[in-house]
Structure 1
Amino acid sequence: MTPSSKSTQSLEDVIERYVNISEHDRDKSCGIQNREYLLNILKKLKVEDDMAIQVANPDHAMNLNMEELQLEVRNLQHQLYMAEEQLRLYEPDPLKFSSMMELESCEKTLLDTMARLDERKDKENETSDIPPLTMQMFLDTNGGCQTLKMILQVGCLKMETTTVLFA
């Protein structure tokens, strides 16, 4: 405190300094020894202080929000740029290549990517479940005798059987 009774430091700063000093240096006669309690009070005071600043100076709060939004927009623009650069690897513009080495490098990248895709496709085919089983049954009652025709199909394998039930 200054002689004019005005504080030169905020209450939060004083409490934060007290909380951060070592136990040895802290005055044991103070009675406040619960560090978590002090930290919670400090957080509440900071929130209240921020709210008071926003109420007293709404332009300042709006500027902070605008700065945060601008930072987020710049971050997203950078992510978009990086994604577009990645896409250029897969859709190259041949007119932008200035040397044969750049063209060959692009070709190698595309061939490597195709090889990885083929490997993934082969693994998927190897580990895929058994193809679905389809079964059809037909009962034919022509000419007084009944025949049962069954068709089983698993993938590209097809089997047909015909059974005469009774004449």
Structure 2
Amino acid sequence: MRRDRVPAPSINDVVRSLGRGPRSLWPRSQQRYPLGRLAHRSVPMSTPTSDELLYIGDQILLELPLDRTIQHIQQYRKVYSTRLHPLLCALTSAQTVAYAEQPLDDVNSLASGKFRSLLVDIFGRTYPEEQLFEFDRDAVVKYKQRVRRNMTKARSQISDILSNVKTAAM
């Protein structure tokens, strides 16, 4: 009786299957590391210099290169944002921030819940929409550390999975 070898999954197959339900390559208990917002990891904590309110709208990322945009946002003590990632950047420097929840899509007026989710991830609570609020900067630092730890765990697991795929292919 001839046995055909089952081909080893490609790297793309492995990466595609990470964290996707019970048939995932990761055990159910490890399927989801909250990785946080990865961009937040690369934005340093800083001290603002301007007391003016910075309003961040939809066009913010079209005006300057990303590094200059981050520097610009971090100059302000007070930031109001309609965009999630610029608000996340502002949390590394501002003293007070406010947000306007993004709509789920262009058709409905339902809120996407992205800001709410972000605030719960970082602070364990939400804040009222469209009102400046002070926040715990230590919680932001802890969130950045948690994202870094989770990235390290995920990187290690992906490396283990890929080495198993490589071994199986030999």
Instruction: Report TM bin, short chain.
Output: under 0.3
CA radius of gyration, larger in: 1
State TM-score, norm by structure 2. Answer: 0.27
State TM-score, norm by structure 1. Answer: 0.28
Q: Name the one with the larger helix percent.
A: 1
Q: Name the one with the larger strand percent.
A: 1
- Answer 1 or 2: higher relative contact order, Cα 8 Å, separation at least 6: 2
